């Protein structure tokens, strides 16, 4: 998985959504990291491959929809705000499906626990735990995330800012 530091990069899509309140950025960041709350299951003995294990239900399309509806209701219940928050939420499992580690993503949970990866998986899987980032693997992960997560979202942000300026001119 990309690290908890990189998943919120999806909130850089905000300039594409004019008239969405700034508080939606906070909701988008929460939506982008919320799926990894499932790692708490390890402490309770929930197996990785379980429907409620890591990359299970909380990484599903249904979970992204439900979390987005809840977070949108907390911000401003309108379609544009929901769409922004949903894109942030669904970016998490989509990015995880592009990593080179783990057992795949249960996109269709709870209807199916089958795990999927994309055929193209350029993102290095993040070490679990902060100490893993102070190793050669951690540095390689950060470099991978800069290239395959932050750079594309930064380009999308710049393009969105340009588009927003043209709309307001």
Q: Would 1 be classed as within a structural domain?
A: no
- Above 60 in pLDDT, residue 1? no
Confidence band for 89, pLDDT divided at 50, 70 and 90: very high
Which pTM does this prediction carry? Answer: 0.91
Q: Would 126 be classed as within a structural domain?
A: yes
Half-sphere CA count of 93, side-chain side, radius 13 A: 28
pLDDT > 70: percent of the chain: 95
Mean per-residue pLDDT, 79-108: 96
DSSP string for 120-151: ---BPPPPSSGGGGGSHHHHHHHHHHIIIIIH
Q: Would 2 be classed as within a structural domain?
A: no
Q: Would 86 be classed as within a structural domain?
A: yes
Q: Give the number of domains in the chain.
A: 1
Confidence band for 158, pLDDT divided at 50, 70 and 90: very high
Range of the domain at 42: 7-168
Q: Residues 33-87: pLDDT tens digits? A: 999 999 899 889 999 999 999 999 999 999 999 999 999 999 999 999 999 999 9
Assigned token pair, 159: 């393009």
Rounded to whole angstroms, the Cα distance separating 149 from 57 reads 23
Omega into 110 within 30° of 0, i.e. cis? yes
Mean per-residue pLDDT, 16-42: 94
């Amino acid at each position: 998985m990309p690290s908890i530091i990189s998943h919120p990069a999806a909130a850089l899509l905000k300039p594409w959504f004019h008239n969405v309140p700034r508080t939606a950025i906070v909701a988008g960041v929460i939506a982008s990291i919320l799926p990894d709350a499932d790692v708490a299951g390890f402490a309770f003995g929930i197996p990785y491959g379980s429907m409620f294990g890591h990359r299970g239900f909380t990484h599903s399309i249904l979970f992204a929809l439900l979390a987005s509806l809840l977070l949108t209701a907390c911000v401003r219940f309108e379609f544009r705000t929901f769409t922004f928050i949903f894109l942030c939420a669904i970016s998490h499992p989509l990015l995880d499906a592009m990593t080179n580690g783990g057992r795949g993503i249960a996109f269709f949970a709870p209807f199916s626990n089958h795990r999927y990866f994309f055929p193209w998986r350029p993102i290095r899987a993040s070490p679990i735990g902060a100490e893993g980032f102070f190793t050669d693997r951690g540095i390689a992960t950060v470099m991978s995330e800069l290239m395959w997560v932050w750079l594309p979202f930064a380009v999308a942000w710049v393009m969105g800012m340009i588009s927003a300026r043209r709309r307001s001119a």
